[in-house]
Homo-oligomer: A and B are copies of this chain.
Amino acid sequence: MKKIKVGVIGLGCRGSSLLKHILMQMDTIEVTAVCDEYYDRVQKGVEIVKNACEKTVYGTTDATELIYRNDVEAVFIFSSWESHIPLAIECMKASKPVGVEVGGAYSVEQCWNVVHTYEQTKTPIMLLENCCYGRRELMALNMVRKGLLGQIVHCEGGYCHDLRDEVAGGAKNRHYRLRNYISRNCENYPTHELGPIAKILNINHGNRFMTLTSVASKAAGLYEYVRENMPDDKTLADVKFSQGDIVTTVITCAGGETVKLTLDTTLPRYYSRQFTVRGTKGMYEEVTDSVYLDGDGKHFKWKEEWGNAEKYEKEYEHPVWKEYLQSGVYGSHEGIDWLIMNDFINCIIENKPFEIDVYDMASWMCVTALSEQSIALGGAAVAFPDFTNGKWQLNKI
């Protein structure tokens, strides 16, 4: 079988981990080139490949050079948030199918640019939103499609992850989060929760996002963390962070549904994506991992039902996960990194459309730019563009 020759851009913590633990384990690809803006990371990337398969791979600090190389047929972009869309556009221009790690957009205009470039070049592009492959997210999607939860009215999700050490550590480890937390105040990482919700609400396929309001709390978590945990750090001593600790965003949809998103990354808490689906016949709630169906009132004993979602696996496990559990769940983030990378490559090999397309990518990523506007305007409602220019009315699921 012919292997797809791939180039990898971005070899920080996430990129080097994906390279080593996922890409080097896939027998459908051959990594032919690696790139990072820092030379030491390029060297480390070359080493990872060498150690895994004894091959000397091409390394460069020039992303454009990598994209246009003849031995690169497809590209993974794992670099900083700011570089995702410009590099993805370059890949499409070079006719190289491209998978882009998640992050938010900086302007609505750059979301339009990625859509326009796709429409001109037809080069396949996929946002690598691994949470769309989450076990419970797919089980809930399956429940919804089978009608178990009735008409869907409201969904919730969050990126609730205490990242204080990572963000503040950015001064030492060159993490792009640091500059974003210093300069910006927005829903900076919406897609982990919004992707699965968009699938459930058929966004761009009979439905679309209409408006958004975002409100941010004060920024207190990082300031206190730096003072108490890094008293000798001179780079951060006088820094004030713009990013509010908790950002609450509410989206309305053409079908009348609402979506509540929470960014919650700089206060102490346990990890959660707060994934919740509410319909006229029932709900799924990740925080308690429970399913509640209409009529359950009489026998539903709150604490006793926590975790009852397990009981629904037999009937509602998504086919993708049924197969995955049989073949063996593998790799980071409870197996979803492996699932999405495989799916991305298999679609290229089989010339099939990606699960997450350029319109999904633009509508999910633009939440960051819109939320920045809404917060700056004191919580004003702002409008989503229709990136499909009306095609959402016709697109089938």
Contact = CB atoms under 8 A, between A and B. Distances in A.
B267 A289 contact: no
Interface string A143-154: 000000011011
A246 B292 contact: no
Contacts of A328: none
Interface string A122-164: 0000000000000000000000000000110110000000100
A215 to B, nearest CB: 4
A213 B294 CA distance: 30
Nearest to A162: B297
Contacts of A293: 268
Contact of A221 (B153, B215, B221, B379): B153
Nearest to A154: B246
A41 interface: no
Contacts of A38: none
Given A258-B216, A300-B270, A380-B380, A250 B252 contact: no
A337 B67 CA distance: 69
A50 interface: no
A307 interface: yes
Nearest to A258: B217
Most buried by B among A217, A258, A283, A293: A217
A246 B258 contact: yes
Nearest to A216: B258
Interface string A227-270: 00000000000000000111010101001111010001001111
B245 A268 contact: no
Interface string A259-295: 0100010011111000000111111000111001111
A217 B268 contact: no
B211 A213 contact: no
Given A153-B221, A215-B213, A297-B162, A379 B381 contact: yes
Most buried by B among A246, A260, A287, A379: A379
A246 B153 CA distance: 8
Contacts of A311: none
10 contacts: A154-B217, A217-B258, A218-B255, A248-B258, A268-B282, A268-B296, A270-B292, A270-B297, A288-B288, A380-B380
